[in-house]
Amino acid sequence: MKLLIGIPAYNEQEMISQVIKSLPRKIEGIEKIDILVVDDGSTDQTAKIARSLGIYVLRHILNRGLGGALKTIFSYFRSKNYDILVTFDADGQHNPSDILNLVKPIIRGEKDISIGSRWQKSRNIPFARKIINKFANIITYLLFSVWTSDSQSGLRAFSKKAVRLINLQSDGMEVSSEFFREIYRHRLSYKEVPIVVQYTSYSQTKGQKLSNAPNVFFRLFMRLLR
């Protein structure tokens, strides 16, 4: 089995090297692990640093948002002969050792998707993040009828079948909730895997912000009206 670890990155020159170096190069049951960074139009040295580490790097000429970067990762996966896809955040909040637990259900063929849930293991999660996530979970349930404890998690694993079926539409942060629409639409099986996150002052400047929540909700709602 071949595994692709896809990292969407935007202006992550401070953390990208550390994140890439920390990723596992061998996992039991996996013959080959490739790492792909999609640099989403960064204005800093993200792509240059990633390239210097000998991994695959795709560069967006314009910043398109998290959804845009994930679409490119999915397209790259489909164009090559991979079996499992893992998406991993570039801000250093994820623990690389969680990848093992995440891919296990996929390797065994038990689930189509596994999603890392930050709320079962992690402590000291900032209050604003908790509120954003609760709000996003409720919206995800109301719009897509799938209940999850962490609709905004960036650590996920997908089987080949799941990647083939998932059709992402959103370009921005709302893409995280969109995965659940696709789970519902294609009746994909999924599992939540408890993961640990490290919230640093750096990672808190990245990702979802409370002020962005109404915009994300509006976009998801308008997408339903299309």
Q: How far apart are CA 9 and CA 200, in angstroms?
A: 17
User: Closest approach of Cβ 226 to another protein, in Å?
Assistant: 5
Q: How far apart are CA 77 and CA 163, in angstroms?
A: 8
Residues in the chain: 226
Residues found near another protein in the complex (CB under 8 A) = 38, 41, 56-62, 64, 67-68, 71-72, 75-76, 79, 169, 171, 222, 224-226
Provide the token pair at 158. Answer: 């997908």
User: Closest approach of Cβ 135 to another protein, in Å?
Assistant: 21
**What is the number of other CB atoms lying within 10 angstroms of the CB of residue 5?**
23
User: Closest approach of Cβ 61 to another protein, in Å?
Assistant: 6
- Which residue, 71 or 118, has its beta carbon nearer to another protein? 71
- Which residue, 21 or 226, has its beta carbon nearer to another protein? 226
**Amino acid, res. 88:** F
Q: H/E/C letters for each residue in 139-201?
A: HHHHHHCCCCCCCCCCCEEEEHHHHHHCCCCCCCCCHHHHHHHHHHHCCCCEEEEECCECCCC
User: Closest approach of Cβ 179 to another protein, in Å?
Assistant: 17
- Which residue, 63 or 149, has its beta carbon nearer to another protein? 63
- Which residue, 144 or 179, has its beta carbon nearer to another protein? 144
User: Closest approach of Cβ 209 to another protein, in Å?
Assistant: 20
- Which residue, 93 or 170, has its beta carbon nearer to another protein? 170
